[in-house]
Amino acid sequence: MPTVVLSASFVRHACCPEGRRKVDFFDQAQRGFLLEVRASGGKTFYQRYSDERGRERQFKIGPADVLNLDQARRKARQVMAEAIMGDDPQKKRRAARAVPMLAQFARETYLPYVRTYKNSWMTDETVLRIHILPALGAHALDEVTTDAIAGIVNRMREEGYASGTINRVIVILRYMYNLARRWKTPGVTGNPAAGLSAGPDVQRNRFLSEEEAERLVRAIEVDENKTAARAIMLLLLTGARRNEVTQAKWDYVDWKNRTLLVPKSKSGRARTIALNQSAMALLSSMPREGNAYIFPSEVNGKPCASLFFPWDRIRTRAALPDVRLHDLRHSFASFLVNRGVSLYVVQGLLGHLHARTTQRYAHLTQETLIGAADLIQDIVPLPRDTVAIA
C-alpha cells in the first residue's frame, strides 16, 4: 500500500504494477484518501474511515475519469467529517439504495398484495399505469412529495377528469404509503398523500323509466350476440353486478331454491342472487353446450371480460346513449322501491352490507312521491268550507 503525493499528474499517469490485479495509492496529505488503480486501467477514488464501533470502512467516492482530484478530495473530507460526527456514510448510502422506486414497489409489492383480496385490483393497476407511474414511477418512495402528487391532481383537473377518478389516484397512493409504513419499507416514514383531496365525488345516478325499460328489452331481443344479450337481460332482471353474471357457472344455479351463487362478491363474501320467474325462464331456455360458464364468449369459451361493445350497440338501438350498464342495477332498485318494497329487502337483493349504499341506488319517481303525499288526506281532512280543485 504505497503512500504518495497525489496530484493531478500522478492520477493521470499512475498504473498497476505488472502481475497485480490492483494497487492502492494512499495520499500523504489527506488521511485515508486513496486512489485505486486496476490492471484494466480503471481508476477510482476512495476514502477509508472508522465507524462508531471502530471498524474500518471504505467509501467509494467515484471514478477518476469522471471526478477530478479536487472534487474527489472535497467529497472525501465530507465523508470523514460525517464519520467523525457519528454518521456512518457507508451505512447511509446502503440505506438510501435500499429504498425502492415507486414503480418497483407498486409492481412487486402493492399489486401482488391487493390482488389476493381486492376484486377491483385491475382498476388500481390501470390508474397506476396511466396516471401515477408515468409521473412518479422513477422516484424512490422517500422522494415523492405532496407537491408532486398535487401536480398530478392539478393536471388531471385541467384535462377534465372527474373528481372520482382524481380521488382514486389519491386514495391508491395514500393506501400504498400506509402499507409501506406498516411493512416497514426502507425510507418510508410519512405519507405524502395524506390530507390531499380532489373534492367530493359527485355520484352520477341514471334510472330507467318503465317506458325506457321496455325499449331496452326490445333492443336486447333483436341483438345479434345472443349470449351477451341474455347476460344483459339477466342484469336487468336481477340487479346483479356485471361480473356476478358474466362469471356465473351452471353449478352456481340452485333450481329448487331459485338462487344464483356468487362465491366471492364485491365485499369479498359469498352471496346469493334471488332469481324471479323471468330470470329462471331465461336460464332454462339457454343451451348448455358443455361449457361450465352460463355466458361463455363465442370466441374462446371463457367469460367475457367486458360487455361494452354489445351493450353499446343495444343502448344505441334503444335510443339510450347515456345509460351505463351499471345503471341497470340502479334501475332494478328504483323499480322495486317505487312499488313499495322496503329498502331493507332491496338491500338484501342487491347484496349491500350497509343500508346507506342501497339508499344511493333507490330513486322515487314523482308519481310515487305524490301518491305518498296523498295518503295524509285520510289523516288530516280539509275544513268543510274549503273549495276543492277540479
Residues 6+ apart with CB under 8 A from 86: 52
Q: Are 102 and 192 in contact (CB under 8 A)?
A: no
Q: Tell me, what's the pLDDT at 235? A: 93
| Cα distance between residue 24 and residue 2, in whole Å | 7
Cell matching residue 155:
393536471
pTM confidence score: 0.55
Q: Tell me, what's the pLDDT at 374? A: 58
- Residue-wise DSSP of 217-282: HHHHHT-S-HHHHHHHHHHHHH---HHHHHT-BGGGEETTTTEEEESS-TTSS-EEEE--HHHHHH
Q: How many residues does the chain have?
A: 390
| Cα distance between residue 22 and residue 36, in whole Å | 7
pLDDT digit string (tens) for the chain, length 390 residues: 789 999 999 999 999 999 999 999 999 989 999 999 999 999 999 999 888 777 888 899 999 999 999 999 999 999 888 888 877 777 777 777 789 999 999 999 999 999 888 877 888 999 999 999 999 999 999 999 999 999 999 998 888 887 888 899 999 999 999 999 999 999 899 999 998 876 665 556 788 888 999 999 999 999 999 999 999 999 999 889 888 999 999 999 999 999 999 888 777 788 888 999 999 999 999 888 788 999 988 778 788 767 889 999 999 999 999 998 989 988 888 888 888 887 778 788 877 777 776 676 666 556 655 565 555 556 566 556 555 554
Q: Are 79 and 32 in contact (CB under 8 A)?
A: no
H or E stretch covering 168? helix 163-182
Q: How many CB atoms lie within 10 A of CB 191?
A: 18
Instruction: Count CA atoms closer than 13 A to 154's CA, side-chain side.
Output: 6
